[in-house]
Amino acid sequence: MALTKQAPDSFELGPIRPPSEAYSLLIRATRNCPWNRCKFCHTYKGEKFQLRSVEEIKQDILTAKAIQDSMKEISWKAGYGGRVQEVARMILNNPPNQAYSNVALWLYAGGESAFLQDANGLIMRTNELAEVIRFLKQTLPSINRVTSYARSKTAAKKKLEELIELHEAGLSRLHIGLESGYDPLLQYMDKGVTAAEHIECGKKVVASGISLCEYVVLGLGGRKMWRQHATQTARVLNEIDPDFIRVRTLTIHDRMPLYNELKNGNFIRSTDAEILAEEKLFIEHLECHASYVSDHITNLLQEIEGKLPQDKEKMLASIDRFQSLPPQERTNFIVGRRVGIYVHLDDLFNSHKHQAVEQIIHKLSQGSNQIDDETIHSLMERFI
């Protein structure tokens, strides 16, 4: 069935969103990042930050609605009675443009959530952001969850009353890059925020009723600051007591300022095994009530998840299980994970997968079966 002869109108999309917002309608409230100096980030380097006008954003929302309505019309004509999932599925196979693909994916998943891009939606004037959120929910009433990225520095500067206003307008959750709670590391990475400001921000967001998701970068301290990174980040999160802690493992490539630090020897990155020891120390020091989520492909053990504090021992047991493996099996799992064959530790017991990984190790090592750290890093970074 031909869905349309002409590509429909489009709307502006930013480059990224959190993995947990994969099925959200993406609305670009701002362009790029107002800070854009973090050494470990490359996403917006070379791009200028811009605020978008409320009218621009509203027009994009109206365009998203027009695309939704056209899909509903196709559904009626095709005999689906206005149900759009089947139409959305077909469109996803050959979307006219990215905006159409985003709307189709959003509708296919139920059309209930929206994410405001780019790096710091909270930097908008509170009244304007609230106006955008209300308009979004009025125009697309199936949306019951609205989320955005934000910087701790920005949130800390907002009055509690402003955050409450945004929550009442419909802002459900903020995704904030904590990254670390160790001040010397925050300064070294040019994060532009202190541990105290992280805490001030987090407590304020929690008090407002907005759900808070804090992101931590495992390995960010490298070999020099890994222990302080683990313990001080846990300390800050214990003070905040967020709803979610999401972990990411550091990756480095040549578009990051940190790449030059790595090359000149100022930053010595940790191995997978060392980062897992860091994560163990981090979890041991967590005393908050957050859901711990490992939903990123860069993490060695994505199975380390649970609700704190009750699942702490289960999470630590996964790390102990890996650390108790013979060295050859640890290497097998690391390589298998980094080439995308393994997902969980139990995959080690799949003989076909295990043999496939052994063959890869033999090939990569040119028969020596010894894999160096740089090879592992390069395998991981293919996914980023």
pLDDT one-digit tens code per residue, 312-341: 999 999 999 999 999 999 999 999 999 999
- What's residue 69's pLDDT? 94
Mean pLDDT across 81-96: 92
pTM summary value = 0.94
State the average pLDDT for the chain: 95
* pLDDT value at 124 more than 80: yes
Closest CA to 185 of 287, 36, 38: 38
Full set of structural domains in the chain with CATH: 1-150 (no CATH), 175-324 (3.30.750.200), 330-384 (no CATH)
8: pLDDT confidence band, cut at 50, 70 and 90? low
* pLDDT value at 20 more than 80: yes
